[in-house]
Amino acid sequence: MRIAGVEMMREIDRIAVEEIGIPASVLMENAAIACVRNLDLTKGYFVVVCGRGNNGGDGFAIARHLYCMDKEVDVFYISEGSDYKAETRTNFRILKRLGVPMTPLSGETMWSFREALKDADVVVDSLLGTGVARPVRDFLRQVIQEININSRFVLSVDVPSGMNADTGESMGQVVDADITVTFQCMKRGFLNYEAMPHLGKIAVEKIGIPGPVEAKAEKGEYLTDHSLACSLIPIRDKTGFKGNYGKVLVVAGSQGFTGAALICTEAAISTGSGLVTLCSREEVFQSLVLRLKEAMSLHPDKLEDGVSRADVVVFGPGLGNFDVTFDMLLLVIKSMQENGGRSKTLLIDADGLNVLKDRTEILTHLDFNVILTPHVGEMSRLCGLSAEEIQKSRIDTARSFALEHKCIVVLKGFNTVVTDGSVVYVNPTGSSAMAQGGMGDALAGMIGSLCGQGLEPLEAAVLGTYLHGYIGDELAGERYVVKASEIIDAIPGSMKRLQDSRK
């Protein structure tokens, strides 16, 4: 599913209307029908709040459909018809001719508006669309406040009124929707954390604009969907043997952090790697060797030799933020440069990222693939931005860093961002039930395993993040919290289900 900002949506609309010849009135009608599909039509009384633009026109059309279904409908609107564009004016006049109750919003009508909101089963917010560029002030601000204070249930049309659809920021006052029905593409701003409290459930509805039209305007930003994830599951040949499914070296674990090493290693095994080897710090090597079953062990003195044999190196979980960790990373990089180059992948996680603070220049001239998997705190240390700045612009932060450092960035968190600097995928799976130690270690092992099984690094990161969250969502349906070990146990079965749903 494509992600679109305001300008991209304007261009999509322009191409559809001007180049393809789809009448704007058809798009408005389709938008209205899509919104009605998302309403609870067992309810009897609807209040529709309409603004001056095309968003208001959608609202007028929604009101007409509800009226034709014998629902009780009251329309409150901002402007008289002379200020409207053609399609909006047409739908306004139809309602007038039908005799649908319509009240212009003003100071004098605010009391009746407030009482209608209190009585309504559902309020439809079609006040302001995606084009909001200035702060919401004065009367419009009051209207939005009244909606928020007095409504039982709100459906917002395309975007909650008062939200910047590019950034998700409040433009002074935002409608708090219970459901947002947005058209054609996921809006970019919806993916930023500031937007989430106002959106409610998000429904992305097509309104009759063909995919090739979207493709003409797209900027290479997508929401990972189930069908894409299913298509990326590696197919295992009947005659395959362990050497066909990748050699993964996990460099992880130090005093007090052996769990990270074991979780990462077990995740790589469960995701399907043919051979997984764990190399840890000297002080925990013997204790970890005794706990390994399906994985092999490698003494840290043999690290360079292990790297030369591996297809993928996962570096960092539980190694500690020490100078020796950076020295080990330099040794891994040197060995990968000398042994295989472009055919190898280095995934850096956790303390591997921490030791890169102020040293990221070493990433820019490598001959092999590099994947970084930071959470927001680690990303802050890597790029120098505050956590707050990153959360306000997750896509742009990850994309610019990946482009500058010629790597793939997996910026973890709700709506994890995966990008190589050119293309962006935002992952919709996962929840706070997974907010426990070890989750990032499991994800690192999963992505590393998928790289070793032949997926391109970007594909592996996209599938790994989706699968990780997908399993978490399934498990969260039956328990309060989800442990990393439970994710690991569920990986093979979940991969099989995804593979089967592709057939």
- In this structure, what token pair is assigned to residue 153? 């249930």
pLDDT for res 82? 58
Q: How confident is the model at residue 400 (pLDDT cuts 50, 70, 90)?
A: very high
Question: Is 55 annotated for ligand binding?
Answer: yes
Count how many Cα atoms sit within 13 Å of the Cα of residue 231 in the half-sphere of its side chain: 7
58 annotated to bind ligand: yes
Calculate mean pLDDT across residues 92-118: 97
pLDDT digit string (tens) for 313-358?
Answer: 999 999 999 999 999 999 999 999 998 777 899 999 999 999 999 9
- Is 90 exceeded by the pLDDT of residue 134? no
**Sign of the dihedral defined by the CA atoms of residues 284, 290, 294, 296, in that order:** positive
Check the annotation: does 413 bind a ligand. yes
Asked if residue 340 belongs to a known ligand binding site, the reply is: no
Interval 432-450: pLDDT, tens: 999 999 999 999 999 999 9
Ligand-binding annotation for 63, yes or no, is no
Q: Coil, strand, or helix at residue 322?
A: coil
The two tokens of residue 26 are 């058809």
Helices (H) and strands (E) in the chain, counts: 20, 19
Rounded CA-CA distance 236/244 in Å is 9
Rounded CA separation 373/348 (Å): 6
Alpha-carbon gap, residue 501 to 265, rounded angstroms:
28
9, 189 Cβ separation under 8 angstroms: no
Mean pLDDT of the chain: 96
Task: Evaluate if residue 502 carries a pLDDT over 90.
Answer: no
* Per-residue pLDDT, 457: 98
CB atoms inside a 10 Å sphere around CB 489: 14
Contact 165, 188 (CB under 8 A): yes
Q: Is 445 annotated as a binding residue?
A: no
- Vertex 233, ends 229 and 237: CA angle to 5°? 165
Q: Is 375 annotated as a binding residue?
A: yes
Say if residue 81's pLDDT is above 80: no
Q: What is the mean pLDDT of residues 24-46?
A: 98
**Domain architecture of the chain: domains with CATH:** 3-218 (3.40.50.10260), 226-232+248-502 (3.40.1190.20)
Q: Give the helix ranges, DSSP H, for 300-438.
A: 303-309, 323-338, 351-354, 376-383, 387-392, 394-405
pLDDT at 493: 98
* Residue 130 labelled as part of a binding site: yes
Tell me, what DSSP letter sits at residue 248? E
- How far apart, in whole angstroms, are the C-alpha atoms of residue 340 and residue 326? 22
pLDDT at 80: 64
**Average pLDDT for 269-286:** 97
Say what the pLDDT of residue 84 is: 87
Mean pLDDT of 87-111: 96
Cα 47 to Cα 70, 91, 422: the distances in Å are 14, 16, 44
**Residues 65, 71: Cα–Cα separation, whole Å:** 9
Q: What is the pLDDT of residues 161-195, one digit of tens each?
A: 999 999 999 999 999 999 999 999 999 999 998 99
Percent of the chain with pLDDT over 90: 94
Tell me if 166 is assigned to a ligand binding site.
no
* Alpha helices by DSSP H, 218-299: 226-232, 258-271, 282-289
Mean pLDDT of 137-146: 96
The verdict on whether residue 133 carries a ligand-binding annotation is yes
C-alpha dist (Å) from residue 372 to 109, 174, 258, 316, 389? 56, 35, 21, 10, 19
Residue 503 has a pLDDT of 63
Q: What is the pLDDT of residue 114?
A: 98
- For residue 288, pLDDT beyond 60: yes
Kind plus residue range of the DSSP H or E element containing 372:
strand 369-372
**Residue 234 labelled as part of a binding site:** no
pLDDT bin (cut points 50, 70, 90) of residue 254 is: very high
CA-to-CA separations, 319 to 259, 328, 450, in angstroms, rounded: 11, 10, 22
pLDDT band at 79 (very low <50, low <70, confident <90, very high): confident
56 is in an annotated binding site: yes
* Dihedral (Cα; 22, 28, 30, 34), 10-degree rounding: 150
Answer yes or no: is 441 a known binding residue: yes
Is 414 annotated as belonging to a binding site?
A: yes
Q: Is 132 annotated as a binding residue?
A: yes
Task: Give the mean model confidence (pLDDT) for residues 213-221.
Answer: 93
pLDDT at 18 over 60: yes
469 is known to lie in a ligand binding site: no
158 is in an annotated binding site: yes
Among the residue ranges 206-210, 287-291, 339-343, 416-420, the one predicted with the least confidence is: 339-343
